[in-house]
Amino acid sequence: MQQKWSGAVDRFADRRFEDARLIATQGQSHQDSLRFRNNLLFSSAFDLVSPTLFRWVADDRGHILAWRRESGRARLRFAGRPSGLAWRAALDRGDRRQLLHAAQQENPPPLTLRLRGAAGERRWCRVRMQRARTADGDTIIVGTVEDVEDFQRTQAQALETALTESREHYRWSVELSPQVPWTAAPDGRIEEVGPRFTDLTGLPVEQALGLGWLRVLHEEDVPRVSALWTDHLVSGDPIDVDYRIKLRDGGYRWMRARAGARRDDQGRIIRWYGTLEDVHARRVAQRDLAESEERFRLAVQSARLGIWDFDAATGTRNWSAELRRMLGVARDVEPTAGLALSLVHPEDRDRLRAMLESVAAGTLPAHFEDMLRIHRANDGALRWIKSTSWTTRTEAGRPMRIIVTFLDVTEEHDSEERIRWAATHDPMTRLPNRALWQAGLDSMAEEARARGESFALLLLDIDDLKRTNDSLGHDAGDALLCAFAARLAAAAPPDAVIGRLGGDEFGLIAPSLHNGSLVEAWGSALIEELRRPHLHQGRSLDCGVSMGAALFGADGDRGDELLKAADLALYASKAAGRGRLTLFHSSLRAEAQQRGSMIHMARAVIADDLLMPYYQPKVDLRTRKVTGYEALLRWRHPRLGVQLPGSIAAAFDHGEIAVALTRKMLAAVLHDLVRWLDAGYDPGRIAINASAADFTHSGFADFVLERLLAANVPTDRLEIEVTETVFLGRGADQVASALRCFAHAGVRVALDDFGTGYASLSHLKHYPVNVLKIDRSFVSNMDHDAGDAAIADAIVKLGASFGMEVVAEGVETEAQAQLLRDRGCPIGQGFHLGRPKPFDAIRPGN
């Protein structure tokens, strides 16, 4: 049998299965022959791997039936022939057991085993097997033994090279990676950790193993991290935790530890694999962001800002709690556009609707501001809300998010309205002030010019308001102002615009008063209305009004022109005696031009030093001796010669020029006084006139006294004459101070034109007046008019009772002089007693 199979193997090897057909046909059907032949053909693949030591055939029990050495090709030589079971000596026990086990399988796998040669050497060989059946149905195993020692060595070297490369790759990856790799046992104790851990913390790797790594954790993080690590060791879930580690330099840095568990086939944890990543920059950025958001939240909260957040991608809207409070909307109410529109004031609703439509269309600008009025949902209160919007867009330019802040500015708005109102209204009468009224005038003028229409402008001045203030107090004057404003507003046409322009002056413009007759009728009605007494604290206050009116178009086609025309008409009403209305006419402009010319000439008089005093004597009516002089203003015209003060009368109503003229007169009079005294002539007291404007300039008395001292003129040589208007004008305290200063220094004070004004007798008591001068209007007719004579007599007696010297002005006849003397008036002044003369015309003894 052995010879039979030996020959078969020889033929198998030599003829490459050409004779397999003969073996297959012995006692087998054609089908079995084909199956066996296919098995042998499959086995021919063994010959493709070299070098092959030998080929063999064995039975199912492992006995070698036939074998053939591949001479010349094998490097391993066996001792004897491997027939029967002798082959076992070439294998170790473990390899024999593995080979026999594999041979029993239906498809035996190739095995790589170490075979021992005759010299005791061991080489790696690969054994390939194939199970087959003989023609008799016996199972045989056909196989080959190949020497793969060189192949294994090459593979081992390749593996070692690959392993070395893998190790280098791992080393470089670890060293260059910012992360620190680590592994841990199933119980959580660290087994391995990357060297960068030491670089970061200064803790040697061996000290970080086990639980040593906890030593570098921030003490505040240890309990949290330990508890979390313990929980995950139990659950086996991946862990992801941030904590701080102490660095080599003593500082702390945020790290992120992540790990996952590797499990075996039964799901048991074999090992934990993790990394430690530096996330300090991210944590700091997150902290900064959180702090920034907290600051923003606190800023929004402290600024009382409501937030409307719209996500353009999803269409969702969010209203902050502050916005809901601002709108009076409950927390559970859905923030819809319809709800917002319903809360907005009807006049502002279209603006909000347009904004919402812009949001839907994606055309809302990147930033906009608006002011809306809303009625709160819970109580209906009207609130002013300032809205500011910011839009963020995608790279394609589409809106991505819209943030709108809302601020309740009701209190600020009301405050601004109060400030604006105060800036444009008179707080006492609550009427528009000059600025607002002037703006209304300009606007009305533009409209009237465009339409070819007319309207009236009236300026109204309360008569004698100053007298009420001085006699009854400012509270009475204020009450009179308010009562006048109320009656004016009640009597004004419905389309009128009224304003208080300052002091006691008011303005009115009305399109319905578009001609002179309508203006005059309305003015007359107002005057009658104002004649009804005004009651204040049980006292009746008289109120008269002077008015000047002008018509747009006829008297001016601009607001400023019309105002000037009405002012000229008002001036004319005052000059005509007050308590009347004057319509502008062209002659008023001529009069105004004349006043302007007077002021111009007065300036020239001062600049060119053309002023010269004339002296009119004051005479003792009993002895007819000169007791002093009154210095009267004259000026020399270059062509017309000496001019009376009436030629520049308008200058005396001009404060600046009036003061300059007084100073010029004082200088000239002191110059003449010095010359008289140096010449041995005693002119007595020289009186000069002072205007109300002189007293409004602080330091008037000091200025006069300084000039007297500089000229070395005794103070008792000078007398200051004032009219009653000085007491009634503004700055009464300054007047009283100046007069007391004069009296204390020895300068006498004379009250001129006494009895013609509104001076109170109390002024004679409160002010240091030394001389009363009876006005010429009483003297000129006293010999024919018993009333004038009685007034003159009363003034003489009044002066005597106060210990004042009385001087009668305007004595034109001897009869008047005699009558005054008989009634006890000691001093007279007038053309009958002496005409005014210049210095050079007055000689000692004249």
DSSP letter for each residue of 802-831: HT-EEEEE---SHHHHHHHHHTT--EEEST
Q: How many CA atoms lie less than 13 Å away from 803 in the CB half-sphere?
A: 2
Q: Which amino acid is at 248?
A: R
d(Cα 567, Cα 462) in Å, to the nearest integer?
Answer: 14
Average the pLDDT over each of 17-31, 254-268, 298-312 and give the range with the smallest value. 17-31
pLDDT for residue 522 = 93
Digit-coded pLDDT (tens) for 71-112: 545 555 655 566 677 788 888 888 888 888 888 888 899 988
Q: Indicate the range of 13-27, 314-328, 819-833 predicted with least confidence.
A: 13-27
The one-letter amino acid at 519: V
Alpha carbon separation from 567 to 458, 463, 563, 578, 629 (Å, rounded): 9, 15, 6, 14, 39
CA–CA dist 256, 528 (Å, integer)? 96
At 60, the amino acid letter reads D
The type of residue at 758 is Y
Report residue 758's pLDDT band, with 50, 70 and 90 as the boundaries. Answer: low
Taking the whole predicted model, whether its pTM rises above 0.85 is answered as no
What φ, ψ does residue 57 adopt, rounded to 5°? -135, 135
Distance from the Cα of residue 37 to its chain's centroid: 101
Query: pLDDT per residue over 158-182, tens digit each?
Result: 888 888 887 777 666 556 566 889 9
Residue pair 307/322 in contact (Cβ under 8 Å)? The answer is yes
Alpha-carbon 511 to chain mean position: 43
pLDDT surpasses 60 at 32 = no
Give the 3-state DSSP-derived string for 282-325, with helices as H, strands as E and coil as C.
HHHHHHHHHHHHHHHHHHHHHCCEEEEEEECCCCEEEECHHHHH
CB burial of residue 444 (10 Å; 0-12, 13-18, 19+): buried
User: What number is the average pLDDT over the span 222-228?
Assistant: 94
Can you say whether residue 609 is alpha, beta or left, with left for phi > 0 and alpha for psi between -120 and 50 degrees? left
**Strand, coil or helix: what is 503?**
coil
Give me the amino acid identity at 49: V
Express each pLDDT in 487-518 by its tens digit.
999 999 999 999 999 888 999 999 999 998 99
Place of tokens 């007696």: 797
Closest residue by Cα to residue 391 from 363, 360, 356, 366:
366
835 CB-near residues (< 8 Å, 6+ apart): 616
Residue 392 scores a pLDDT above 80: no
Tokens at residue 478, please? Answer: 């204020």
Q: What is the DSSP string of 636-677?
A: EETTTEEE-GGGGGGGGGSHHHHHHHHHHHHHHHHHHHHHHH
Burial letters for 521-554: b for 16+ Cβ neighbours within 10 Å, e otherwise? ebbeebbeebeeebebeeeebebebbbbbbbbbe
pLDDT-based confidence at residue 300 (cuts at 50, 70, 90): low
Nearest to 275 by CA among 199, 217, 192, 188: 192
Nearest one of 717, 714, 726, 712 to 688, comparing CA atoms: 717
> pLDDT tens across 36-77, in order?
433 443 333 333 334 567 788 888 888 888 877 765 455 556
* Bridge partners of residue 126, in order along the sequence: 112, 146
The answer, yes or no, to whether residue 189 has pLDDT greater than 90, is yes
Q: HEC profile for 702-717?
A: HHHHHHHHHHCCCHHH
Query: What pLDDT is attached to residue 400?
Result: 75
10 Å CB burial of residue 633 (0-12, 13-18, 19+) is buried
CA–CA separation, 804 and 789 (whole Å): 19
Contact (CB, 8 A) for 505 and 546: no
| DSSP-assigned beta bridge partners for residue 432 | 425
pLDDT cut 70: percent of the chain above it: 87
Residue found under tokens 């499990």:
263
Section 447-460 average pLDDT: 93
pLDDT of 28 strictly over 60: no
Continuous segment of H or E residues that includes residue 761? helix 761-766
Residue 153 CB neighbours (<10 A): 12
Whether the pLDDT of residue 664 is over 60: the answer is: yes
List phi, psi (to 5°) of 542. Answer: -80, 145
Residue 392 CB partners (closer than 8 Å, separation 6+): 399, 400, 401, 402
Round the average pLDDT of the chain to a whole number and report it. 83
Q: Give residue for tokens 């796998």.
A: 109
Q: Is 779 exposed, middle or buried (0-12, 13-18, 19+ CB in 10 A)?
A: buried
Task: Please check the confidence at residue 739 and state whether its pLDDT lies above 60.
Answer: yes
Determine the pLDDT at residue 2.
43
pLDDT score, position 215: 92
Least reliable range by pLDDT among 344-353, 390-399, 777-786: 390-399
Question: 365 is written with which tokens?
Answer: 């600008």
Q: Specify which residues 825 forms β-bridges with.
A: none
Q: Above 50 in pLDDT, residue 23?
A: no
Burial 55-86 (b: 16+ CB within 10 A, else e): bbbbeeebebbbbbbbeeebebebeeebeeee
- Exposed, middle or buried by CB within 10 Å (0-12, 13-18, 19+), for 829? buried
- Between 125-139, 198-212, 299-313, the lowest mean confidence (pLDDT) is in 299-313
pLDDT, position 611? 92
